[in-house]
Amino acid sequence: MKFAVVVFPGSNCDHDTYHVAKDVLGQEADLIWHKDMRLGRPDVVILPGGFAHGDYLRTGAIARFSPIMQEVSKFAAAGEISVSADSALPPMILISSIRIG
């Protein structure tokens, strides 16, 4: 299974999520910069939360204008697995709840 972890300025948990997917679960994983135009061919897309600069900056509202989000929207619309990780739920729990194999 291949994971794509989208990285936004000010997000956290992206490298933690990548580590769990690649090193703990032993799966293929890529960090995707928010300005990239292509996701590649992942089986799962993860949008980390827990923005480091606080919710008052409306980072989620701003992130929706990032170029990669058009691809993420297409991916989700096709019924593929997409996860939005929030700081209230650690990425490891989100990833480990997805059946691999």
pLDDT-derived band of residue 35, with 50, 70 and 90 as boundaries? very high
CB contact at 8 A, 14 and 57: no
pLDDT tens digits, 36-92? 999 999 988 888 775 555 555 555 666 778 899 888 888 888 876 666 655 444 444
CB contact at 8 A, 66 and 39: no
CB contact at 8 A, 3 and 43: yes
Nearest by Cα to 48 from 16, 22, 14, 21: 14
Q: Could you tell me the residue ranges of all domains in the chain? A: 2-96
What are phi and psi for residue 74, nearest 5 degrees?
Answer: -65, -40
Q: What per-residue confidence (pLDDT) applies to 91?
A: 46
Nearest by Cα to 75 from 30, 29, 49, 44: 44
CATH of region 2-96, choose from 3.40.50.880, 3.40.50.300, 3.30.470.20, 3.40.50.1820: 3.40.50.880
Residue 15 has pLDDT above 70, yes or no: yes
pLDDT tens digits, 2-13? 999 988 877 778
Q: What per-residue confidence (pLDDT) applies to 50?
A: 58
Q: What per-residue confidence (pLDDT) applies to 62?
A: 67
